[in-house]
Amino acid sequence: MLTSSARQQLNELGFLAFPALLSPAQVSKFNQRIEELFALEGDGAGSEFKTEPGARRIANAVDKGEIFEQVIETPEVLEAMEAVLGPDFKLSSLNIRSANPRNGCAQPLHVDSGALPDALGYSVCNSVWMLDDFTERNGALRVVPGSHRSGRLPEPGAKVEGEILVTGKAGTVVVMNAHLWHGGSENFTDAQRRAMHVYYTRGDKPQQQYQKRLVRSEVQARLSPLGRKLLALDDLRNDELSVTGSGASGFMK
């Protein structure tokens, strides 16, 4: 499904937008379930992974509703993931991040899991699902195009030339090579800015959240064969990785 020009943009700039991949009705269903989870989890929301000043979080969302189980199998996104990671990849985590109204802070520029490309190439790739409009004032994604090819991490606090904001309508999905320097911007508005982060990693790397332990047995039992493969539930290599390493190092949106 990816055109040659889309592949070229993903390779050269490090990100690619799929406008209107979710319908308004689908966006509404996601936001309804997300707000239910925030109400249910209260102050503990996101604690399976991390909490963050200036933002609400939900972690391990693949265990928290069939709507999330289904989204990890989105064909357009999986094709883009394969273009970055190759055919051997798995879900690393599925988290929600909602930038609070007038939060007074932006995320620092970072790469996900603090990862740099290695001898096998790229190892992390994220997808940002806009569940509200992303505007220049409400905490939109900021990126430095092409920085995934630098082989370096951004210097903390350094001013970086070439940074841009990635804006779009709710329902847009942005696939991003997660070695790209990126971060959330400050929300200057009076409304939440919600997004879902469906994050994948190469098969030889540990998951950020070890799905076999975190996802309940009844959820695992109803997953499709593709869902089980993406969660690496039957991959013995993944069990070994969960013991020897953790994918949770570094900043992650």
Q: pLDDT, tens digit, for every residue of 179-221?
A: 999 999 999 999 999 999 999 999 999 999 999 999 999 999 9
β pairing state of 55-58 and 141-143: unpaired
The CA dihedral of 82, 85, 91, 94, to the nearest 10 degrees, is -90
pLDDT of residue 48: 86
Helix, strand, coil: what percent of the chain each, to 5? 30, 25, 45
pLDDT of residue 247: 43
Mean pLDDT on 70-96: 98
* Architecture in CATH of 4-244: Sandwich (2.60)
pLDDT of residue 68: 97
Domain ranges of the chain: 4-244
> Among 29-38, 154-163, 196-205, whose mean pLDDT is lowest?
154-163
- For residue 147, the 8-state DSSP code is G
Residue of 192, 193, 100 whose CA lies nearest to 141:
193
pLDDT at 249 over 50: no
Mean pLDDT on 119-146: 98
pLDDT of residue 244: 65
pLDDT at 11 over 80: yes
pLDDT of residue 31: 98
- Write out the E strands in 35-189: 55-58, 89-99, 124-130, 141-143, 164-166, 173-177, 182-184
pLDDT of residue 154: 96
pLDDT at 245 over 70: no
Q: Say whether 78 sits in a helix, a strand or coil.
A: helix
pLDDT at 248 over 90: no
β pairing state of 182-184 and 193-202: unpaired
Q: Which two tokens stand for residue 98?
A: 């909602």
